């Protein structure tokens, strides 16, 4: 069974989506630990509700960022974690963690990468005036949202969208494709070839999901 470690800084709704899929028997995995850099993160309450071990690691306790990520890596390795999930972890992962889990760290971003990386992808999309936005699950490398793409979901943007309304619409798709990416990993169906992630038996995969067209006259 796949052993997962989760890193989160805030409410952890994607953390919850993965918990739900495990508890509903749709994902054969166990969450070994939640690690957070924020002692007030709501993700901690989610962990407690589901009897998941959690740990706060204060980045201010370390003289260098690499030492902080070395501590995280050590905690994950000590629990036999196979896959690391970033669920709203608001820090760029650094080399000690990436080296400890090569091609075994996933992140989800609220935009169709490589468009609009970094913070506030939804706001960036609205400011640019795009008609389609979405979300991307990708493997983590040393850059900001630059790792190989696993799954993407496309989400329409309406003329009266705000950052909040678009964010909520995108989030509903994040909750679908993130557990799916984890499931594919758990089944050994993901293979990285350069920048491409090859998915075996691709027809069974949720990908390029688009909501039904929205009639803006009714929106």
Q: For the chain, list the domains and their CATH numbers.
A: 1-102 (3.40.50.170), 108-219 (3.40.50.170)
> Of residues 125 and 206, which shows the higher confidence score?
125
Catalytic residues: 109
Task: Tell how strand 132-139 and strand 149-156 pair up.
Answer: antiparallel
At residue 143 the predicted structure's pLDDT band, cuts being 50, 70 and 90, is confident
| pLDDT tens profile 73-121 | 999 999 999 999 999 999 999 999 999 999 999 999 999 999 999 999 9
3-state secondary structure 43-61: HHHHHHHCCCCEEECCHHH
> Hunting for tokens 């028997």 — which residue is that?
25
Q: Which pLDDT score, from 0 to 100, does residue 142 have?
A: 86
Q: Is the pLDDT of residue 60 over 90?
A: yes
Q: Are 116 and 128 in contact (CB under 8 A)?
A: yes
Whether 217 has a pLDDT exceeding 60, the answer reads: no
Distance in angstroms (rounded) separating the CA atoms of residues 33 and 51? 10
Asked if residue 72 lies in contact with residue 140, where contact means CB atoms within 8 angstroms, the answer is no
Question: Under a CB-based contact definition with an 8 Å cutoff, are residues 160 and 135 in contact?
Answer: no
Which pairing describes strands 83-86 and 105-109: parallel, antiparallel, or unpaired? parallel
The predicted structure's pLDDT at residue 218: 38
- Is the pLDDT assigned to residue 211 strictly greater than 70? no
Evaluate if residue 35 carries a pLDDT over 90. Answer: yes
Predicted pLDDT of residue 203: 59
Would the pLDDT of 26 be above 70? yes
pLDDT value at residue 63: 95
Q: Mean pLDDT, to the nearest integer, of 129-134?
A: 96
Write out pLDDT tens, residues 166-203. Answer: 999 999 999 999 999 999 999 999 999 989 999 987 65
């Amino acid at each position: 069974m796949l052993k997962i470690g989760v890193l989160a800084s805030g409410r952890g709704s994607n953390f919850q989506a993965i918990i739900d899929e495990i508890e509903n028997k749709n994902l054969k995995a166990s969450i070994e630990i939640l690690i957070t850099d924020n002692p007030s993160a709501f993700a901690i309450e989610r962990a407690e509700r589901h009897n998941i071990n959690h740990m706060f690691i204060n980045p201010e306790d370390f003289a260098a960022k690499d030492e902080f990520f070395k501590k995280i890596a050590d905690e994950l390795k000590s629990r036999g974690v196979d896959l690391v999930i970033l669920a709203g972890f608001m820090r760029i992962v650094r080399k000690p963690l990436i080296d400890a889990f090569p091609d075994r760290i996933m992140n989800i971003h609220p935009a169709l990468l490589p468009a609009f990386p970094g913070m506030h992808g939804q706001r960036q999309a609205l400011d640019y005036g795009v008609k389609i936005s979405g979300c991307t699950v990708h493997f983590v490398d040393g850059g900001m949202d630059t790792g190989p793409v696993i799954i993407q979901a496309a989400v329409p943007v309406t003329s009266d969208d705000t950052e909040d309304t678009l964010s909520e619409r995108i989030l509903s798709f994040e909750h679908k494709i993130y557990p799916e990416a984890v499931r594919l990993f758990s089944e050994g169906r993901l293979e990285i070839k350069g920048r491409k992630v090859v998915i075996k038996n691709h027809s069974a995969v949720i990908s390029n999901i688009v909501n039904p067209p929205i009639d803006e006259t009714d929106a």
